[in-house]
Amino acid sequence: MEAGFSKNLQEQCFAVIGLGLMGGSYAKALRRAGVKNIIGVDSDKQVLKTALAEGVIDGFYQNAGAYLSQADVIICCVYPEAVTEFLKQAAPFIKRGALVTDVAGRKANLPYEAQQLMPEGAEFISGHPMAGRQGSGYAMSQAEVFDGANYLIVPTEANSARAVNWLRKFALALGCGHVAEIAPAEHDKIIAYTSNLPHALAVTLINSDRYSGKSCWFIGGGFRDVTRIADINPVLWSDLFLQNGENVLNELENFKQQLETMQRLIAAGDREGLQSFLHAAACHRKDIVL
């Protein structure tokens, strides 16, 4: 296997499938890294034309096709269920030695299903950049979302050490600050807490009955920070919540218990208990900020 593991990143041909927020950011980060051949694939021709005019991609297509035989690396930046659908169409064109990865925020059986679709000599290895920003679509994409970000490699027993090592180096080349490996099922459990739950809380806070057109005059940095990610892609995130539903519900229940603890402490006028509760949170926050 050679093509997807070329020593010179800049000389490899990358195909980015889906030029939305993440796909556009990948293409821009690849260009920033000096990659000379980037193919964009998206159903929206206007987005493709914009990316081409901006010099972010070198060519574009709207569907899978023979052009994929050029690609050393294929990055699927589409909704989780769309990854396997695309690979079913793309499989006949993926060349021996190609490396295929994704950005899906929910794994479940996706890595295993995608691996089954790979032609002989090509390898699928799942990944998840913990990067992004509020909003959605190509217009919101930027290379800088990867700078200092965490990147998760989600391998299975079928993946080679060579693929894991390549993806690790690739994430660092994009600008990511830390790379970790995790199994698919464990990934979904942890992501329910660190990603799904914060987005759910931001949405429910901004949807509170207390919200009004005048709310903007009464907010400070705290409210802005907490609700930033409420500017959300509803199609993507409804899928992520539902497809990881059991884990998300568990985390919502855990959060509910913490809220009830705080309610009890305030209702009881327990200053010492409340201070201890807040102090523990401050310590945990310091522990997780790298």
105 and 237 fall within a common domain: no
**Residue found under tokens 């005048």:** 214
The region of weakest confidence among 2-16, 19-33, 66-80 is 2-16
User: Is the pLDDT reported for residue 197 higher than 60?
Assistant: yes
CB 86 within 8 A of CB 64: yes
150 and 231 fall within a common domain: no
pLDDT digits (tens, 9 = 90+) for 25-41: 999 999 999 999 999 99
Tally of structural domains, the chain = 2
Q: Tell me, what CATH number does 262's domain have?
A: 1.10.3660.10
**How is residue 209 annotated by DSSP?**
T
pLDDT digits (tens, 9 = 90+) for 117-165: 999 999 999 999 998 777 789 999 999 999 999 999 999 999 999 999 9
213 and 167 fall within a common domain: no
Q: What's this model's pTM, rounded to 2 decimal places?
A: 0.86
The region of weakest confidence among 43-57, 179-193, 206-220, 267-281 is 206-220
Percentage, residues of the chain above pLDDT 70? 97
pLDDT at position 289? 67
Q: Which residues of 77-90 are buried (b: 16+ CB within 10 A; e: fewer)?
A: bbbbebbbebbeeb
256 and 217 fall within a common domain: yes
15 and 92 fall within a common domain: yes
247 and 167 fall within a common domain: no
pLDDT at position 7? 66
pLDDT digits (tens, 9 = 90+) for 241-260: 999 999 999 999 999 999 99
Dist CA 284 CA 251 (whole Å): 17
DSSP helix/strand/coil, 158: coil
Mean pLDDT, residues 99-124 taken together = 95
37 and 78 fall within a common domain: yes
pLDDT greater at residue 269 or residue 232: 269
Dist CA 47 CA 60 (whole Å): 10
276 and 258 fall within a common domain: yes
Confidence band for 8, pLDDT divided at 50, 70 and 90: confident
223 and 159 fall within a common domain: no
pLDDT at position 132? 73
Domain of 86, in residue numbers: 3-182
User: Is the pLDDT reported for residue 290 higher than 60?
Assistant: no
Single out the residue in 182, 211, 244 at which a domain terminates.
182
DSSP helix/strand/coil, 4: helix
User: Is the pLDDT reported for residue 1 higher than 60?
Assistant: no
177 and 202 fall within a common domain: no
98 and 191 fall within a common domain: no
Single out the residue in 182, 213, 248 at which a domain terminates.
182
Q: Tell me, what CATH number does 19's domain have?
A: 3.40.50.720
| Mean pLDDT of all residues belonging to the chain | 93
Strand partners, 73: 14, 99
143 and 258 fall within a common domain: no
CA distances from 188 to 153, 170, 174 (A): 13, 23, 24
Single out the residue in 182, 215, 243 at which a domain terminates.
182
Give the number of other CB atoms < 10 A from CB of residue 18. Answer: 26
pLDDT at position 233? 86
> Please, what sign has the CA dihedral across residues 268, 271, 272, 277?
positive
